[in-house]
A and B are shown apart, each in its own frame.
Chain A
């Protein structure tokens, strides 16, 4: 291959590769007819290509599918691949990117929650229940402005639809979407006892601090209000220094729809010192729980069918029985959780703290000079009595220990004293 040519050997290769223009290609073709050495080179290059063609790698698998979700260039796209393929490869390659993605996800969720909470706030009130939107009836703090459809209420349905469009038919994810889609399509999530027509599940809690002069009537009044609104008292405790500064704390559970009326009655028991309301949307948690429960029941059914056949080996039968026992336990646990969550959403928790307004017993009239001296005298006497009682209690508390210490140090003390005296 060292003979001097009028044709560059690389041109022969380029000719075979179709890289030469018409005139140059024609010249090489003519040269190849005349030059056996270049013809040999061309033949060898062709044979090299033939040899290389022995390496075939088959065809792409079904896992390689067209990315979906984009209807226009630059629009949102999804890979269109199996979740395992996409997630596994990315986690293995770039844990940092996964961490960043998780952080972004948390941020988005927080922003959505913030927007939802902002949608719930109206006219200074920190909370407006969604069931007011559904009921559409007016109240002390509900008017026409509140009856408009909240933006968040339509979100689950649209989300479920968008996901369903991207999931291959028959997949487990599609089954899940079928459940969520059905719920979003109008199946009530809130138990019937909640009385809410909206699908949101809101756990509502109110804390009310009152001050009253008529403390003796408070307990009976709370019982009356609770009974009138079909609620129940979850806990109640009373305390304080009688008779001047008593307090009472009660936790009252009332149906969600009667919360406002009950609150109104409870506020009338005294002067409102502080009031706070909070809400927690447990719709998603309840939905997830319901789906997991449904899946667990389906799995239990399949295991039951497997066990009924009993055509497998004993080890397999035992394994199925173990799995069935495990799934039964999970079902019972999830059922209890679901019922507890439904109960929390159907009843609002009102914590009432009532304190007796402080007054010196004698100071009932206008604060004249004599009255003030009188009150001061009463307070002084009460302070002196409290001091005597305090000292007595302290002596009772530390007396036995002091006596014991005296006995222990008696002899060493005497010995030291005598040495000093000598």
Chain B
């Protein structure tokens, strides 16, 4: 990012190539419309470009990028709440999984969590953010993030550890 600030256009291309997929999957797991995920990914990188001159390397660029993406997501959720016609997120997400039953199982287990806990778990499990990075994003102390993550994983452990069971027999 500093190289891009110095005028190296290729540096931004490298950043885009590296983080395009992680940012897109971040949105895709949280928004069921693929086009919306595409759009928010674009807007995230656009925001990076527009704010490049103000960028200060206080943290890793990855943290900075995910903070922008997270803000985009929150803004999208606020708009979605205002727009009654918009379908709720998390519905009918197109996914790839070897076993659709496994996928459904996982998604039901995540859906059963508290929204804040679910967000923390997803940021850790799928986006591989550190506790400190998650704490910055969600605005909580790192210790609170850790305890909530442990609580959420405990709930998932109760639901997911063991072989998938037939419909109606799941915990």
Contact = CB atoms under 8 A, between A and B. Distances in A.
B131 interface: yes
A56 B96 contact: yes
Interface stretch (A47-55, A177-185, A202-210, A280-288): A47-55
The 8 nearest A-B residue pairs measured at CB: A74-B53, A73-B52, A60-B24, A51-B160, A57-B28, A54-B102, A77-B49, A66-B16
B160 A48 contact: yes
A383 to B, nearest CB: 77
Given A51-B102, A64-B41, A67-B42, A57 B94 contact: yes
B154 to A, nearest CB: 8
B146 interface: yes
A355 to B, nearest CB: 63
A73 B161 contact: no
A64 B20 contact: yes
A81 interface: yes
A67 B38 CA distance: 13
A206 to B, nearest CB: 49
Chain B contact residues: helix, strand, loop or mixed: helix
B124 A17 contact: yes
A51 B106 contact: yes
Given A45-B157, A51-B160, A85-B35, A57 B93 contact: yes
A44 interface: yes
Nearest to A8: B150
Interface residues of A, number: 42
A65 B16 CA distance: 9
Interface in A43-96: 44-45, 47-49, 51-61, 63-67, 70-74, 77, 79-81, 85-86, 89, 92-94
B115 interface: no
B166 interface: no
19 contacts: A13-B146, A19-B131, A44-B157, A48-B157, A51-B102, A51-B105, A52-B106, A52-B156, A54-B97, A60-B20, A60-B24, A63-B38, A67-B42, A67-B46, A70-B12, A73-B7, A80-B42, A85-B38, A85-B39
A93 B83 contact: yes
Interface in B33-65: 34-39, 41-43, 45-46, 49-50, 52-55
A67 B49 contact: yes
A239 to B, nearest CB: 65
A52 B122 CA distance: 9
A10 B106 contact: no
A59 B37 CA distance: 11
A398 to B, nearest CB: 69
Given A60-B41, A64-B24, 19 more contacts: A10-B147, A17-B130, A19-B130, A44-B161, A45-B157, A48-B153, A48-B160, A51-B106, A52-B110, A52-B126, A55-B29, A57-B94, A57-B95, A58-B28, A61-B34, A63-B35, A66-B45, A72-B7, A79-B43
Contacts of A49: 125
A14 interface: yes
B99 A13 contact: no
Chain A contact residues: helix, strand, loop or mixed: loop
A9 interface: yes
Contacts of A67: 42, 45-46, 49
With a 10 A CB-CB cut-off, give which of B55, B121, B161 has the most chain A CB atoms. B161
B103 A81 contact: no
With a 10 A CB-CB cut-off, give which of B39, B103, B105, B146 has the most chain A CB atoms. B39
A71 B16 CA distance: 15
Nearest to B25: A57
A93 B43 CA distance: 14
Contacts of B83: 92-93
Contacts of B149: 13
Nearest to A82: B38
A40 to B, nearest CB: 10
A66 B103 contact: no
Interface string B124-145: 1110001100000000000000
Contact of B95 (A17, A52, A56, A72): A56
Interface in B63-84: 79, 83
Nearest to B132: A19
Contacts of A60: 20-21, 24-25, 28, 37-38, 41
Contacts of B38: 60-61, 63-64, 81, 85
A55 B95 contact: yes
A86 B43 CA distance: 9
Contacts of B41: 60, 64
B170 interface: no
Contacts of B5: 73
A56 B29 CA distance: 8
B92 interface: no
B13 interface: yes
Nearest to B107: A55
A14 B131 CA distance: 9
A54 B103 contact: yes
Nearest to B149: A13
Given A61-B34, A73-B5, A54 B98 contact: yes
Contacts of A66: 12-13, 16, 20, 45
